[in-house]
Structure 1
Amino acid sequence: MLRDSRNFMGFQRIQRRQLSIILSATWRKRVCPKALFLGVAMFLKLLGKERFASLYKTLETAITGHENTSYTGHVIWLHFGVNSGASRFAIEKQAVNEATFRCPDELGWKPQKVSIIPSDGGISRTRETALPTNDITKALSNLGYAVMASDDAGRFVCNYVYYHSLRFAEEHGIKSLFVHVPLFLTINEDIQMQFAASVLEVLSSLQL
């Protein structure tokens, strides 16, 4: 699932579409580890009035698709988002139950200090991934990537998606992870595609 984090400029829109298309194609051309099955790679356009239904419909595909196959391994929702101000990759540890958008989303929604899920409590509530982000970061760093573990996914669309995904994952016994990537102008496309494939390989090697 692809989503950009800070704004909706044309370049970011192009990049996240490229990430979705190229990640899927690149990974299927590689020798896929036996421990990993890539179920879906998509660009997600959401929010506005349809935000909740669109997101959960997408998340549900992880469950229905998993149940309709003979695959018995773990399901991991892997999200990528573009952070235009970043100089390195970031493995996000958590999301916060707060939506504070500095500019409207693609459908004109601009919440300010709103609980993403009111029934979860106030805007200080956090949800953490069940995946070992420090181990993942270390493994990727050892492969030569400029990557860090982060506990701040912002308060914009990426955080919104990640919070819903983490809650959904907890309810359904699956896992979720969000990865922020820089612009292609900062780290070029080839390296970013290699990094995305390396993330998948590292996830497939985890003892879950």
Structure 2
Amino acid sequence: MGSEGPAAVTIHVTGFKKFHGVSENPTETIVSNLKEYTRKKGLPNGVILGSCSVLETAGQGALTPLHQTLQSALTGKDSQSSCSEKIIWVHFGVNSGASRFAIEHQAVNEATFRCPDEMGWKPQRIPIVPADGGISRVRKTSLPVEEITKVLAKKGYDVMTSDDAGRFVCNYVYYQSLHFAEQNGIKSLFVHVPLFLTIDEETQMKFAASLLEAKCDDTRKKANGVQKKKEKETETG
């Protein structure tokens, strides 16, 4: 009986709308255009681009739609995903002062907003998920940030790893997503991008597509490794 290939990888993405100081958020453009861009350029076999959602740049006030967006990956309402497939969430956010891309290792259970979000909320030293404990609690992605960064750097992108996603809405959403991912057996990653004035739109679109490929390749390599291990156990069993 022939062995089945590794499960497909379904990647869902989010970006943000405008917020204080950033009237045109590049991540809104990236996420809004990503389906059409990847349709033209193509994606590797085994990778499916699922839902592409643009979120309000808000924390607590936008929590319900955020959870509904995350849940949609499990129900398959907004995508072609199924329970048998690997599910990854990729969240894009802008760092208006950055000169390069940044792959974020972690998020902190602290909401301390430097300015009000788009719904007027300005928390100070408040835990994002109270059940997780205090504001010093950290959640890390289970994806190999260093490896993904190296792959992207080899492709010519100016990219770095980061251990600090800030304390504003980007960190808020990432922490909520990592919490959700742990509860549901999926994966999550946050990526900060610069403004289009710093790195042009076409390069950022290429980067986003390359990121999907890099994460898909890693997941498939791991799946192949598990499959080969099982085959070896079967042969020696």
Give the structure-2-normalised TM-score.
Answer: 0.82
Deviates more, 1:56-65 or 1:29-38: 29-38
Q: Does 1:11 align with 2:12?
A: no
Alpha-carbon deviation of 1:33?
Answer: 1.1
The equivalent position to 2:157 in structure 1, one of 145, 164, 167, is 145
- Which residue of 170, 173, 189 corresponds with 2:182? 170
Q: What's the RMSD between the two structures over aligned residues? A: 2.0
Per the alignment, residue 70 of structure 2 pairs with 59
Contact 2:143–2:189 under 8 Å retained in 1: yes
| 1:31 to 2:45 alignment | no
Letter in 2 for 1:9: V
SS of the counterpart of 2:50? coil
What's the CA shift string for 1:106-128, capped at 9, x where partnerless? Answer: 01000001000111011000000
Is the Cα–Cα contact under 8 Å of residues 4 and 83 in structure 1 kept in the other structure? no
| Map of 1:186 onto structure 2 | 198
Distance 1:70 1:186 in 2: 38
Matching of residues 103-118 of structure 1 within 5 Å: 103-118=115-130
- Number of corresponding residues: 206
The structure that is strand-richer by fraction is 2
Report what 1:82 is aligned to. 94
**Scaled by the length of structure 1, what TM-score is found?**
0.92
Give the Å deviation of 1:34.
1.3
After superposition, the C-alpha distances for 1:96-153 in whole angstroms (9 at most, x for unaligned) are 0000000000010000010001110110000000000000000000101000010100
RCO higher in 1 or 2 (8 Å CA, sep ≥ 6)?
Answer: 1
Q: 1:153 to 1:4 in 2, by over 3 A?
A: farther
Over 3 Å counting, the alpha-carbon distance change for 1:11 and 1:68 in structure 2 is: closer
| Unaligned segments of structure 1, at least 5 residues | none
Runs of 4+ in 1 over 6 A off after TM superposition: none
**Out of 124, 130, 144, which is 1:132 matched to?**
144
Asked whether the 8 Å contact 2:127–2:135 carries over to 1, the reply is: yes
In structure 2, stretches of 5+ residues that fail to align are 1-13, 223-237
* Contact 2:53 2:69 (8 Å CA) reproduced: no
Identity of aligned residues (%): 54
Quick check: 2:59–2:173 contact (8 Å CA) kept in 1?
A: no
Q: For the pair shown, which has the larger CA radius of gyration, 1 or 2? A: 2
